Amino acid sequence: MSSSYEVDVKQDVYTLYTLKEPGTDSSVTVCPERGGIAISCQLKGEELFYLDRESFNDPEANIRGGNPVLFPICGQLEEGVYELDGATYTMRNHGVARNRAWEVVSTSEEGEASVTLRLQSGEGTREQFPFEFELLFTYALVDGALHIRQSYRNLSDTAMPFYAGFHPYFKSTSKALVYDTDATRYLDYNDNEVKPLRGAVDLGGLKESVALLDADKREIAFPGPGGTGRVHMSYSDVFKYVVLWQVNDKPFVCVEPWMALNAEFNRKDELFMLPAGETLKAQLSIGYTR
């Protein structure tokens, strides 16, 4: 499929970068200042993301919507704290990346519409996460699909523990969806029981999330907005789990690829360790078919 590509920059409440592919009626809007987040993902004419504009406009609020970046943790810590090498640190849910401004490194309209963003460690991150790091994320729109190419670089002198992920809010009026996945079990954080996965997962009325546990394939699909079409996600092997979450009376379902489960910094059972000076590369792709 051939198509021209465009990258538009405009000032809203924040500076927004919109990747456009007119030939497929697709666009993706990214806000570097608000955690390097993609706030809109229109693929083949269908807007897939939910966005609460009030939380987006408020620089002190956690954004409800779009696709927040989770680093260096996904989810919560026990009592909001963790211990490492004899010291205790406090960290907000989902880590330090989603509440910081990212730097725009480059844009491209050659073969894709893309923007590359960078987040580096600093005084505001070290007090919560005592490591030197550099994240480079490229958001690329090509052939009607969004690809997020990620680079996690450890600039510290010692191995760096982390478990990253994403928190995409997909528009959905139904909370009971059938997911195309080879997972057979899920952990229900509402009662902390492991349950068989059969048919639809009904999140309606649930306060806490559920986590798909044993998928071998790093892909998942589910109905698009209003039950039309199919959303397809694929992701690198490091994303071992998919977490599902909702808020009552809000028209979205979150389908979140995570590297590890909630509170892994407390358990340290399968904590990923990136050696000093090395880089982990990963990808997440989102597509849509009618």
Instruction: Enumerate the domain spans of the chain.
Output: 6-171+224-236+265-277+284-288
- Give me the pLDDT at residue 59, please: 93
Candidates 38, 46, 45, 44; CA nearest to 18 is 38
Query: What's the pLDDT at 3?
Result: 58
Tell me how far apart the alpha carbons of residues 67 and 262 are, in angstroms, rounded to a whole number.
Answer: 18
Q: Is the pTM of this model over 0.85?
A: yes
Q: Rounded to whole angstroms, how far apart are CA atoms 79 and 221?
A: 34
The pLDDT score that the predictor gives to residue 2 is 46
Strand residues in 169-274 grouped as ranges (E): 169-171, 176-177, 185-188, 193-196, 201-202, 210-212, 219-223, 230-235, 241-245, 252-258, 272-274
pLDDT at 157: 97
pLDDT at 242: 98
pLDDT in tens, the chain (290 residues): 445 999 999 999 999 999 999 999 999 999 999 999 999 999 999 999 999 999 999 999 999 999 999 999 999 999 999 999 999 999 999 999 999 999 999 999 999 999 999 999 999 999 999 999 999 999 999 999 999 999 999 999 999 999 999 999 999 999 999 999 999 999 999 999 999 999 999 999 999 999 999 999 999 999 999 999 999 999 999 999 999 999 999 999 999 999 999 999 999 999 999 999 999 999 999 999 99
pLDDT given at position 1: 42
What is 6-171+224-236+265-277+284-288's CATH topology?
Answer: Beta-galactosidase; Chain A, domain 5 (2.70.98)
CA distance 150 to 23: 26
Task: For residue 148, count CB atoms less than 10 angstroms from its CB and return exposed for 0-12, middle for 13-18, buried for 19 or more.
Answer: buried
| Per-residue CA distances from 247 to 4, 87, 163, 206 (Å) | 38, 35, 24, 8
